[in-house]
Amino acid sequence: MSTLVEIRQLSKVYERGRERLEVLHHVDLDIDRGDFLALMGPSGSGKTTLLNLIGGLDSPTEGTITVDGKRIDSLSEGALAKWRAAHVGFVFQFYNLLPMLSARKNVELPLLLTRLSSAQRKRNADVALELVGLKDRSAHKPGELSGGQQQRVAIARAIVSDPTLLVCDEPTGDLDRQSASEILTLLQELNRDHGKTIIVVTHDPKAAEYARHTLHLDKGTLVEEGATLSATAASA
């Protein structure tokens, strides 16, 4: 497998007034194309910060991030927005759907930034919704869906523009065990059947079992790499 994400000497420091907080400390990391990686660690360990940096939501204080051969650490804000639109799909703990829009319209959001026609956008959104098993709920608004269904819509939104990379921040953190299992299985299918490279931040070891690999962060440093696998986890 080729390397999709290459991180070198990555540091992130937050400054709040006089306080200086180093969240990530000289992290080196390679993530292969087609990998399904779980980032674990205690609260404040820097796992979400690392995910945000890989997803282009934030800029590092030091170091480089190369995704699919492109350095993103030095991109301007505007260029980074365009890059995210084309290459990254995001899934959040609290779904972050727009409450006034139907499931389909939520899924269509990333496609508004493309040149696709309205009919094409609708078609693509329906395909994505079908993939997550919610085509029959496409006209429903988020408030009319369960938590698990909302997260499926969020996943459909994340994959609708066929991104290079899927980043998920605690995607099951707000779900019951059954729904969490369904979401993780869905992510696993996207990885296995559709070749999506997925990075999941989670504090739940059971969730991490669905990933191909698990990395642990502590105080901003990678401390351990575990190899897990998952065919078995899917049925666990």
Partner 1 sequence: MKYLHLVWAALLRRKTRTIFTLLSVLAAFLLFGLLDSVHSAFTAGSRDVAGVDRLVTVSKVSFILSLPKSLYERIRAVPGVQEVTYANWFGGIYQEPKNFFPSEAVAPNFLSLYPEWAMAESQRKAFRETRTGAVVGASLARQFGWKIGDKIPLKATIFPQKNGSNDWTFDLVGIYHATDPRLVSSENLFFFNWDYFDEARQFGNGNIGWYISKVADPQEADRVAQRIDALSFDSDHETKTQSEQAFNVAFVSQFADIGLIVGAIMGAVFFTLILLTGNTMAQAVRERIPELAVLKTIGFSNHSVLALVLAEAIALLLIGAAVGLLLAGLVVTAVRLKLGTAVPMDPVGRDIWLQGLGLAVLVGLVVGALPALRGMRLRIVDALSGR
The contact set with partner 1 (CB under 8 A) reads: 52, 55, 57-58, 77-78, 81-82, 84-86, 90, 92, 96, 98-101, 105, 109-110, 112-113, 118, 157
Q: 21 or 100: whose CB is closer to partner 1?
A: 100
For residue 16, the surrounding DSSP H or E stretch is strand 3-16
Closer CB to partner 1, 161 or 181, in the complex = 161
- Cβ 105 to partner 1 shortest distance, Å: 7
- Min. distance of Cβ 10 from partner 1 in angstroms? 15
Q: How far is the CB of 132 from partner 1 (least distance, A)?
A: 17
What's the rounded Cα separation, in Å, for the pair 195 and 190?
7
H or E segment to which residue 54 belongs:
helix 47-54
Q: Which is nearer to partner 1, 120 or 146 (CB)?
A: 120
Phi and psi angles of residue 59, each rounded to the nearest 5 degrees, phi first: -115, 145
**Sequence letter at residue 11:** S
Name the token pair of 145: 């869906």
The residues, any chain, with a CB within 8 Å of residue 84's CB and separated by 6 or more, are 55, 56, 57
Q: How far is the CB of 233 from partner 1 (least distance, A)?
A: 28
Minimum distance between the CB of residue 28 and partner 1, rounded to whole angstroms? 22
Nearer to partner 1, 57 or 127 (CB): 57
Q: What does residue 99 show for φ and ψ, rounded to 5 degrees?
A: -65, -25
If the CB atoms of residues 58 and 68 are measured against partner 1, the closer one turns out to be 58
**Is residue 127 a contact partner of residue 142, using CB atoms and an 8 Å limit?**
no
| Beta strand 197-201 pairing with 165-169 | parallel
Residues 173, 171: Cα–Cα separation, whole Å: 6
